[in-house]
Amino acid sequence: MPDPTTAPCVLFPELFQKAVQVEFNDEFSSSDGGAILLKAAESKLDLLSHLAGSLGDDRQRGKVRHSLKDLLAQRTYALCCGYADGNDAGKLSTDPIMKLLLDRDPLEGDDLASQPTLSRFENSVGPRELYRMGVALAERVVERHRRRLGQRARLITIDLDPTHDATHGGQQMSLFNGYYKTWCYLPVLGFLTFNDELESYLFTSVLRAGNVQAPLGAAGLLWRIIERLWRSFPRAKIRVRLDGGFAHPELLDFLDGIGVEYVVGMAKNSKLQGFVEPLMDESRALSEETGQTEHVYGECQYQAKRWSCARRVICKAEVTQHLGRAPKDNPRFVITNMKQTPRWLYEKVYCWRGEIENRIKELHLGLEIGRTSCSQFWANQLRVLMTAAAFVLMQELRLWAAKTSVGRAQVFRLREQLIKLAARVVVSTRRIVLHLPASCPSANQWLRIARSLGAAYG
């Protein structure tokens, strides 16, 4: 197939009143003109320099053309712009906006790294460096919100949630998971929610083998972030919210030992089923009477065989009704050390874990966090971390867009409205001018966000 940048033009002679000619030959334009907002957001967050500072560079200096920070930034900005495939670097290396994001002259500056260079970079990072990068990511997220909220942070909720990342090759540590019925990785993602805000902020992303149990490494992740939160928000209450896969005796003992609030889902068993059965009878009667889904709440003190003590368990006895289906029992259980009523704890605290699922969908659908196709496990962990960094940047952009129509937009809409803007780049002695479309529907929102990030009228 001929290269579209050198092939003859394409003509559509009969579609319109005049013949339409298409040529991919404008070297001074980009399809990502709005991406300079990412650069402005990064200047406020200062994330990429801290991540790059975690990396060691043992390359021969005389042969180095691209710094590690540039390689990391190039890959992260590309992910924000929707280029999850490393092969896209071949074309993007000359893109004027991409060069501008890396502080190069958009027209005369050196080209960015090629796909082979980025691939060598991904495979050169070891586990200690990745650990330091993970710590740096969490540090920058916490510091950002310390500056934003300060003493106004009354409650900080920590969520950990695993997600499955299906694999289709011979990747290291790609193992079969019986629950998901596929070969996969099982990364765990961590989020922080401040007070009663709707947004939950990603602070960690750790790749794990496909057959691990959910609690693996959870205590270490929680302890590091809780220590950091205590230092930055000494007056804030810390709450941990986990799904049923984390209901492990050692993790529960850990949470009791450090004295934080927690709500942890729990799988049903015969003993809990026996306790909830009278509540189920009441819920069935209500559901039969109303023809609607009904639920009744209760609680008990329960101690599993391997637990060190009895704990409070909230029970939801629910009967679900769906059109054309028979009523279905759906009992649920939550372990907690909190004192509020069962209904409030379940509906106002535990159920808000659903918002975390939306953030995870954004990571999968908007940033393709599942692009872990390297054969080396640590290279895939780096990819997951760079995707997390891209998501943190997009969340920062969303913060600055709070008072616009895209203030709650998901990643793909943020990209579509604010980043994917055709731009022609003109460089003069005094300035660089980006000519964006006059008909852009999101121009007003873009300008408002730019001004909030420090832009001024020329």
The 10s digit of each residue's pLDDT in 340-391 is 999 999 999 999 998 999 999 999 999 999 999 999 999 999 999 999 999 9
Domain total of the chain? 1
| pLDDT at residue number 360 | 95
**Model confidence at 2: pLDDT above 70:** no
- The whole-chain average pLDDT of the chain stands at 93
Q: Is residue 233 part of a domain?
A: no
Give domain status of residue 86, yes or no.
Answer: no
Asked whether the predicted pLDDT for residue 4 surpasses 80, the reply is: no
What pLDDT is stored for residue 11 in this prediction? 86
Assigned domain for 30 exists:
no
What pLDDT is recorded for position 326?
87
Distance CA 259, CA 90 (A): 52
Residue 69 lies in a domain: no
Most confident of the following: 26-30, 87-91, 235-239 = 235-239
Q: How large is the average pLDDT for residues 143-158? A: 95
Quote the pLDDT of residue 12. Answer: 85
Domain for residue 100, yes or no? no
pLDDT of the residue at 23: 82
As a whole number of angstroms, the distance between CA 356 and CA 358 comes to 5
- Write down the residue that tokens 């402005």 correspond to: 40
Token output for 113:
């790294």
- Is residue 55 scored above 70 in pLDDT? yes
- Which pTM does this prediction carry? 0.93
Cα–Cα distance for residue pair 338/257, rounded to 1 Å? 15
Does 403 score more than 90 pLDDT?
Answer: no
The whole-number pLDDT of residue 170 equals 87
Single out the residue of 179, 370, 335 nearest to residue 248, CA to CA: 335
| 282-337: pLDDT as tens digits | 999 999 889 899 999 999 999 999 999 999 999 999 999 888 888 899 999 999 99
What is the pLDDT at residue 48?
96
| CB 331, CB 316: distance < 8 Å | yes
- For 201-226, write each residue's pLDDT tens digit: 999 999 999 999 888 999 999 999 99
- Residue range 88-107: mean pLDDT, rounded: 93
Residue 294 within a domain: yes
Measured between its terminal Cα atoms, the distance across the chain in Å is: 45
**Rounded mean pLDDT of 146-166?**
94
Question: Which residues are within 8 A (CB) of 91 and not within 5 positions of it... i.e. 6 or more apart?
Answer: none
Confidence (pLDDT) at 319: 93
Reading the block at residue 404, the tokens are 């616009």
* pLDDT above 90: percentage of residues in the chain: 83
Note the pLDDT of residue 1.
41
Q: Supply the range of the domain harboring residue 293.
A: 269-330
Instruction: Quickly count helices (H) and strands (E) in the chain.
Output: 15, 17
Question: What CA–CA distance (Å, rounded) separates 151 from 135?
Answer: 23
- What's the mean pLDDT in 138-145? 97
